[in-house]
Chains A and B, each alone.
Chain A
Amino acid sequence: MKDADEFDNFYRDTSRRLARYAYGLTGDPADAQDLVQEAYARAWQRWRQLSGYEDQEAWLRLVVNRLSADRWRRLGVRRARAAAERPPLPAAPPSEDTVLLIRALRTLPMVHRRALALHYLLDRSIAEIAAETGASTGTVKSWLSRGRTGLAAVLGDERAPEGARDAR
């Protein structure tokens, strides 16, 4: 059961971070739960191969990207309505600020949400996001800037666009 032990350790060490990322992308705790379980199920399917990867977490995030994108496309026609809906309650109800942020995130293009989730929820630098996404650092800066602007427009917070993290 060496593989199972290794996998369980990997799950224990990384699943919480993946849940943050999935929650950031979807804004939905139940979706985040499902996506995390599905991503790790797929990881276990090919664990022999995946365990040799340098960045297994990046692989998991890409699985979550694709699955969440599929969901997003399916829900696309309901996007405007969904943006106005309060997300379902997780185990611990989110604060009002969190509800507002989720609602604002839902109005953004996926690529902006992904960059914001990596930057703010997983503490990834611009260079790291660029490496993971295959984009230039300039493009990542643009995603983050436009993401913040989009959030500010919805949140109505005039100070939000001047995020202090560009210096990374």
Chain B
Amino acid sequence: MPADLDDLFVGLARAADAVPLGAAERARCRGRQRNRNQAVLAAAVVLLVAVGVVAGLRPQRHDAQPVAPVRPLTEVGSPIEFGGKASAAYSTIAGERSFTAWRSADGTVRVVAQDLHTAAVAWPARSLGRFDDFASVTAVPQALLVFVVPDSDAVPLNDIYPDREIHVLDPATGRERWKVKSAVADSLLVNDRGLVRTEAGTGRTEAFDWSTGATLWSVPAGADRAQYTVGMRTANDEDITRQTDDRMVQVTKSGQVRVVDTTDGRLLKTTTIPAPGQGYTFIAYEGWLFNNERSAGVTSPFRVRATDLSSGNSSVLLDLPAGHEVGSLWPCGSGRLCVSETDRDVNTTVRAIEVAGGQQLWQMAGPRGGAYGFSMRGYSMLAGNEATLLDPSGRPVTAITGSDSLHWLGDDGLLVVTKEGTVQKMRLSDGRTTTLGQMPVPASMCVNTDTRIVCPSETEVRTWSLTG
């Protein structure tokens, strides 16, 4: 044995230096996935991804359209100026209104509402106070939610410290109704009656009334507390901020699966799966629960599990080779699950599996570095270092690089905003694009409906027509 600890630790450092590490892009991919898992309420659009570096849309099966001057997009109403440079600004849409919140240089967070059709001010900018950070704004028909961090010195060094405040406003008037503290890792779901929060730190679940903030119901954590909470989605849920199914699924530390009615907190069903580890992904969809998991100990290979919440039957859908990781799980059509996985060299493979029978329907190579997916009408958008649109049979329709954001548009399209501010509609079935117009200033944080796109910048928010 060496004579002193220095030599021993040198040997340990050498062993540590030999541990293979994943690429930075894999960490970013995992971070994006965590954001998606945690930000059920923070996402106001179905799909918003920032991809690529160089602008350009690359249809794979069509020649590029002739280059022609792009006409300006038709602006609706007048810009609403922030009165200075904002450190952050986000917009959201609910019903016939858009809402934009921004944080000024002095820390004041303000929010304004506009009529979506005319862009007229529905209620003037209201101040919520001064905060160290402003995270997001999202709206549901019953409430407008603004996420802020009051004191960044108290910013947690973990995800379960309740550093974040959610201010709940009346979307009709802008009046602040109530506020609640919530950690980044808390699970947040909404239904018609209120906001349902499961605290990551305590495991306690509580539903707050939209109007008053009063507790509608609560479930204590108990000894076997919830580690994961997800809302049940259906094929109709194009907007991930709302689930049409009023059920949520909690997976406890021991692996008990609890199906709970979010309207009253009733326990509807229980079953069990292997105890979950850290960083697992759970998806509840059409009565099934899907998750990734280690097959045995902490170094064992990953696999994908499917649990039928009606019968309680649970089985392994996919076993991955050693060293492979699940990057993303997403439903990609009724009765189908898509899985994105990466190997040690961060090569990505995407598979679609028919859930009931466990049959693999197709597989394809995804973008290097990992990818996460979203789906609508059976089409999937793979997003990572680049974005690829897949048809229901797994065939790439179009690869997109350099777009600033992508949004589902109507039943059959994607709205593509390039880094230069060109707004295009892409048809899902064949990837054909139609240029709708050019924004004078590129904007990356736009939200849209089928007819309007609302884009906040550092200094103002502007509304544009998508129909001419």
Chain A residues proximal to chain B, CB less than 8 Å: 1, 4, 7-8, 11-12, 15-16, 19-20, 22-24, 28-34, 36-38, 40-46, 49, 59, 62-63, 66-67, 70-71, 88, 90-92, 94-95, 97-98, 100-102, 116, 120-121, 148, 151, 155-157, 159-160, 163-165
Contact = CB atoms under 8 A, between A and B. Distances in A.
Given A38-B279, A45-B31, A33 B15 contact: no
B1 A40 contact: no
Contact of B22 (A23, A37, A42): A37
A contact patch SS: helix
A11 B24 CA distance: 6
16 contacts: A1-B53, A8-B28, A23-B19, A32-B19, A34-B279, A36-B21, A40-B30, A41-B31, A46-B184, A66-B158, A94-B12, A97-B8, A120-B5, A120-B13, A121-B9, A164-B4
B16 A45 contact: no
Nearest to A18: B21
Give 10 nearest A-B pairs by CB, closest first: A44-B31, A11-B24, A40-B27, A120-B9, A41-B30, A23-B16, A30-B299, A41-B31, A92-B18, A62-B157
Nearest to B39: A45
Contact of A94 (B15, B157, B278): B15
A45 B35 contact: yes
Interface in B181-240: 184
Given A4-B28, A33-B19, A62-B158, 11 more contacts: A11-B24, A23-B15, A29-B19, A33-B20, A38-B279, A42-B31, A91-B19, A95-B15, A163-B6, A164-B4, A164-B6
A62 B30 CA distance: 19
Interface string B252-296: 000000000000000000000000001100000000000000000
B298 interface: yes
Nearest to A147: B5
Contacts of A157: 1, 3-4
B2 interface: yes
Given A88-B299, A121-B13, A121-B16, A38 B21 contact: no
Nearest to A11: B24
A30 B1 contact: no
A19 B11 CA distance: 14
Interface of B: 1-9, 11-22, 24-28, 30-35, 50, 52-53, 133, 152, 155, 157-159, 184, 278-279, 298-299
A89 to B, nearest CB: 10
B295 to A, nearest CB: 13
A155 B53 CA distance: 53
Contacts of B27: 11, 37, 40-41, 43-44
A23 B17 CA distance: 9
A31 B8 CA distance: 20
Contacts of B20: 33, 90-91
A19 B24 contact: no
B31 A90 contact: no
Given A49-B133, A101-B12, A159-B4, A16 B18 contact: no
B320 to A, nearest CB: 15
Contacts of B299: 28, 30, 88
B25 A8 contact: yes
Given A40-B31, A91-B18, A1 B52 contact: yes
A125 B12 CA distance: 19
A30 B298 contact: yes
A157 B8 CA distance: 11
Given A23-B16, A59-B157, A41 B34 contact: yes
Contacts of A121: 9, 12-13, 16
A15 B6 contact: no
Given A41-B30, A44-B31, A44-B32, A101 B158 contact: no
Contacts of A30: 298-299
A57 B352 CA distance: 39
Contacts of A23: 12, 15-16, 19
A160 B298 CA distance: 32
A63 B34 CA distance: 15
Nearest to A27: B12
A94 B15 CA distance: 6
Quick one: which of A8, A41, A95 has the most chain B CB within 10 A?
A41
Contact of A7 (B6, B8, B24, B278): B24
A37 B30 contact: yes
Nearest to B38: A45
